[in-house]
Structure 1
Amino acid sequence: MITIISLLAGCKKKEYVPKFDEEPQVRIQKEIQQLRTTLTESPNGWVGVMPTLTGGGYGFYINFAKDESLMMQADLDTNMALTAAPSMYRVKQDMGVNLMFDTYNYISKLNDPEPSVFGGAIRDGYKSDIEFVFDYARGDTLGFIGKRYRQPFTLIKATAAQKTKYNNGDYKTLMKSFMNFFVDNPNAYIDATSGGTPVKAGVIVNSTNNLSSGKRVELSSLLPDGSVTAAKQKFAYTIDGIKMLDNGLDLLGINFTRMAWKDATQLAMYDNKGQEYIIKNSPTPLLPLYKLWGSKYTGIWSPFQTIFPGTSQAGRDTLNFFHNNMLNGYTGFVFNYGEIYMEWNTVNSRLVLNGFSSQNGGSSGWTTSGTFSYTVDNNGVFRFTTQAPLSGGYVAKAMTKMVNFLLNNQVAFDYYVDGADVYAKMYSVNDPTTVMTFILY
């Protein structure tokens, strides 16, 4: 009996045919070598683009060497666009094939948890990765996915002409040309159509690295029926212009994919069908700010002890009454961080005023909130009344000046432009000397 079982077992073993000709470890090593070879044998380097999870989008120019070193330029600012910096990389196995930047470089700055380094959030940076899982190869394009935050990182083989431009410092020049264009043309717009009716769509390019609004293109349009439509998308600079990320920017049934110089003086947007839209400038803003509450913008924000350009002395006093009284025990407690933010509920004609306070630098804390009903006339002048008084949290006492401002003034809103930055300006119609500026979000 033992002999028969042994023979059957032997027959089974001989009949087994492996599904693959190679062991998994051998195959993965070949894939690693293939990706490494692809990266290093591109003679002109690679153009990279990626969004961050909580910030905007970013562009890179990278040359990979066979000794696992690289040279990188980036659009984080114009100096990084000009200066190629060295670092190291690895292609390794980890549930697939991964590309890892394992020494500090421009990509690492987006992951840095210290806000003073590049302005990211405490602990999280911009929620961007330094290790990427290989996803696909299509023609001259390699696709990766961030290992932790799952944002796409795309590398496209550069041409010889692109390489020359990057090496000649044209990346910095191009970035500055875009920034200067939108400073010189603060009311930029394109002509488009909605339902066959010609409309204008305002164009804002925010080239800053602000977490909530930077490295984004915004389009907004007042439709023929008087309603407003708006959209925003992250972008990256490449040597050829602006590339919209995350499958483009959709507005008015059009998918906008890029922005580029048509010639020495004309800047244009292009859609996914190749249609060209020349960017022009209006002498006045196309859309009043109050028309965009609840569509393009959901709120305004005053970060801790930060007074933005355009704020008057009276406005500074109102904001600092909150910020400075976080520190001195005026509220009955001592905090080391606080911020004011207001959120619009246009469906119910309400504005929610929030005061956040913290004793650990903003990592966690408490929120005091109050709700105000409002009416708004055809000129965009708001009148606020209390719908629900301040409650929760611990800083209602420090918010009284802001509450009094809302209740005792006819309030209007406008844009305040400072270079590449666009803020919300809130001011009193009764007393125009009281002006406060905020970050729009």
Structure 2
Amino acid sequence: MKMTKRSLNILLATAITLLTAACDNGYETIFNESPDERVEQALNEYSALINSAPYGWKASLYTEAGAGYFYYLDFQEDGNVNMISDFNTTTAGNSMAGTWVLKALQKPTLTFDTYSYIHMPADPDGNVNGGTTGEGLLSDFEFTFVRSAGDSVIMKGLKHKTELYLVKATEDETTAILGDDILHILQSTNGYIADNAGLKLQLPGNIVVPVAIDVAHKLFAVQYLSTDGTKIETFIAPFTFSLQGIVLKTPASVNGNTFRELYWNDDEQVYVAQLAAPTELFNDTEPFLFHPSVPLHSVIGQRYKKVYLPENPEENRLPGQSDAFVQAYNEAAEGMLIGPYQLTLHDMAFSFDAINKLMYYDVIIAQTRDGVTSRFLAQFVYSYTIDETGHVKFTAIGGNNNAQVIAFDLRVILQHFEDDTFKLEYIAGGFELISGFYSQEKPEYSFAGYLGN
């Protein structure tokens, strides 16, 4: 339809009338307050919430890198905050003062604006927290409010989405925290882990599972056979310390048994899991072997393509590494170091090619000249066969030039590949699975490494 000049004038007049009405001082807005007034009201409400815990807050912080940490936070109306943390023994035993402020960003945001214990997981210096240099443990020190209910507040980090849970502390809890009870639990656990390298938990039905506790990164793990018995499962969860012991972020559920806390028995100096009945963890340093219905030799090179051995097994000893293997490694390392090239022996890896039935034995060596250290790869190549009983036999077929340089010094290890057959076994490794290689001709000789892809 063609618009006439008269129709256009009518539309313009109508628009002007509506615009005038919208700008009229008598126009009713949706909110009674201005945007600034609403923001100020929200900040006041959250400030009152933060200051509503007369004895402070117990807090659990979980970073995006997977670590968990306990905090005690006592906010003051003047913008100061006192805190305790289980980050390490210093932070657990010494209260630190910091400052806090509420900001009106996209959402009301709680910011810890001076460096304090809560910044330590977020510190980009990996030497501070064991994280990646430049990123730390992917944690935060600015948090938005998600929701509150009763005595609890849930918050989320602004940058890395770190989870922060606050629960009001009681007077007795605050007294215990400030009285070094968290420090005591932390120190006791450090000693307990140092003295118990093979922790196990016996479930109802006489099912034994290995567990691992990493105090530095606050991680807990338990390994067990899947329900159908075909593979090994590994449950890993961050934890924080509490006045009673250890609290997992998510409950561990193993063969129908669920638990979330481990309670520290100070009299017996043991950790206890609350299953159908209180059950103490026990120590057994013998390698824990899994026997799923799908054996390791049938999936090596497919589900798992690499076996990694950390350097210096005398200090970085893995379950399944015999004294004979450690002695052989040390003998090879000494020979390389005093040899004409003055080489340092580092880590090793075994890569399996299941299609071509080849195994690549990679050895990392290093040489220092004029203060500069260079690393090199020495690679030995083997073919392999697996018989009907699962025994693996290796046959040497070559290697690169670096392999020829170190072959004499490494002969104490290489001779076992030439002379022995090996039985492959799954070994519990805490947070990772381990492959054990057990010589059938020389029972005193076995080596082991982390399974990977």
TM over 0.5: yes
Distance 1:82 1:388 in 2: 59
Match of 1:24 among 35, 40, 48: 35
Q: CA deviation at 1:36?
A: 2.4
> Which deviates more from structure 2 when the two are superposed, residues 73-82 or residues 425-434?
425-434
Structure 1: distance between partners of 2:255 and 2:192: 24
In structure 2, what is the equivalent of residue 95 of structure 1? Answer: 106
Q: Which residue of 1 aligns with 2:181?
A: 170
Residue of structure 1 in register with 2:214 after alignment = 207
Taking the aligned partners of 1:270 and 1:258, their CA distance within structure 2 comes to 7
Residue in 1 that maps onto 2:392: 383
Secondary structure of the structure 2 residue equivalent to 1:110: helix
- Cα distance, 1:244 vs. partner? 0.8
User: What is the identity, as a one-letter code, of the residue corresponding to 2:238?
Assistant: K
For the residue of structure 1 that corresponds to 2:45, the secondary structure is helix
Given that 1:71 and 1:86 are in contact with CA atoms closer than 8 Å, whether structure 2 keeps it comes out as yes
Per-residue CA deviation, residues 88-122 of structure 1 (Å, 9 max, x unaligned), is 22221221122222222222221222233332222
Call closer, same or farther: CA 1:177–1:436 in 2, change over 3 Å.
same
Letter in 2 for 1:268: V
The equivalent residue for 1:85 is 96
Number of equivalent positions: 409
CA contact (8 A) 2:234 2:431 kept: no
Aligned counterpart, 2:124: 113
The aligned residue for residue 238 of structure 1 is: 242
Partner deviation per Cα, 1:29-53 (whole Å, 9 max, x = no partner): 2222222232233121111112222
Q: In the TM superposition, what whole-angstrom CA distance separates every residue of 1:1-29 from its partner, at most 9, and x where no partner exists?
A: 78876544344556854222323332232
Query: Contact 1:185 / 1:281 at 8 angstroms: preserved in 2?
Result: no
- C-alpha distance in structure 2 between counterparts of 1:89 and 1:376, whole Å: 67
Separation (CA, whole Å) in 2 of partners of 1:19 and 1:345:
69
Structure 2 counterpart of 1:287, which letter? F
Match of 1:315 among 326, 329, 351: 329
Change (3 A) 1:244 1:421: closer
For each residue in 1:160-196, what CA deviation from the matched residue of structure 2 results, as whole angstroms up to 9, or x when unmatched?
111011111111111233344453583331323xxxx
Alpha carbons 1:343, 1:352 under 8 Å: kept: yes
CA 1:26–1:240 in structure 2 vs 1: closer, same or farther (change >3 Å)? farther
Q: Is the contact between residue 208 and residue 421 of structure 1 (CA under 8 Å) also seen in structure 2? A: no
Asked whether the 8 Å contact 1:217–1:235 carries over to 2, the reply is yes
Alignment of 1:357-368 (within 5 A): none
Correspondence 1:186 to 2:173:
no
Tell me, yes or no, if the aligned pair for 1:60 and 1:238 is still in contact at 8 Å: no
Q: Is the 8 A contact 1:203 1:217 kept in 2?
A: no
1:309 deviation in Å?
A: 4.3
In the TM superposition, residue 79 of structure 1 has moved relative to its aligned partner by 2.6
Stretches of structure 2 lacking an aligned partner (at least 5 in a row): 1-8, 318-322, 367-371
Alpha-carbon distance in structure 2 between the residues aligned to 1:258 and 1:206: 13
Mapped partners of 2:53, 2:405: distance in 1:
60
- The match for 1:137 is 148
Q: Contact 2:394–2:421 at 8 Å: present in 1 too? A: no
Distance, in Å, in 2 between the alignment partners of 1:136 and 1:321 is 63
Partner of 2:4: none
Select between 398-407 and 2-11 the one with higher mean Cα deviation: 398-407
Task: Output the amino acid matched with 2:113.
Answer: D
Counterpart pick for 2:273 among 254, 269, 273: 269
**Structure-to-structure mapping, 1:382-401, within 5 angstroms:** 383=392, 385=394
1:333 aligned partner: none
Among 63, 67, 73, the alignment partner of 1:62 is 73
Per-residue CA deviation, residues 61-96 of structure 1 (Å, 9 max, x unaligned), is: 121222222222111222321111222222212211
Q: Give the secondary-structure state (helix, strand or coil) at the position aligned to 1:98.
A: strand
Residue in structure 2 matched with residue 123 of structure 1 by the alignment? 134
Decide whether aligned partners of structure 1 residues 88 and 8 sit closer, same or farther in structure 2, where only a CA change above 3 A counts.
Answer: closer
Identity %: 17
Equivalences for residues 193-342 of structure 1 within 5 A = 198-209=205-216, 214-222=217-225, 227=230, 228-245=232-249, 247-261=250-264, 264-265=267-268, 267-270=271-274, 276-281=277-282, 283=284, 287-288=288-289, 308-310=315-317, 312-316=326-330
| Corresponding residue for residue 34 of structure 1 | 45
Larger Rg: 2
Name the aligned partner's letter for residue 200 of structure 1: I
Give the conservation status (yes or no) of the 8 Å contact 1:201–1:222: no
* Letter of the 1:315 counterpart: Y
User: 1:410/1:69 Cα in 2 relative to 1: closer, same or farther (>3 Å)?
Assistant: farther
Q: Return the TM-score normalized by structure 2.
A: 0.69
CA deviations on 1:278-313 (whole Å, 9 max, x unpaired) are 12426565832687979xx99765567897344834
Tell me the TM-score normalized by structure 1: 0.70
Distance 2:328 2:56 in 1: 54
Check whether the contact 2:70–2:86 (CA below 8 A) recurs between aligned residues: yes
Q: In the aligned structure 2, how far is the partner of 1:316 from the partner of 1:165?
A: 49
2:234 alignment partner AA: A
Give yes or no for contact 1:383–1:410 (8 Å, CA) kept in 2.
yes
Quote the offset at 1:249 in angstroms: 2.5
Which ranges of structure 1 fall in alignment gaps of 5 or more residues? Answer: 193-197, 331-337
AA matched with 2:183:
K
Question: RMSD across aligned C-alpha pairs, in angstroms?
Answer: 5.2
Aligned amino acid, residue 214 of structure 2:
S
Q: Is the 8 A contact 1:132 1:144 kept in 2?
A: yes
Structure 1 segment 156-167 matched on structure 2, within 5 A: 156-167=167-178
Contact 2:121 2:136 in 1 (8 A): yes
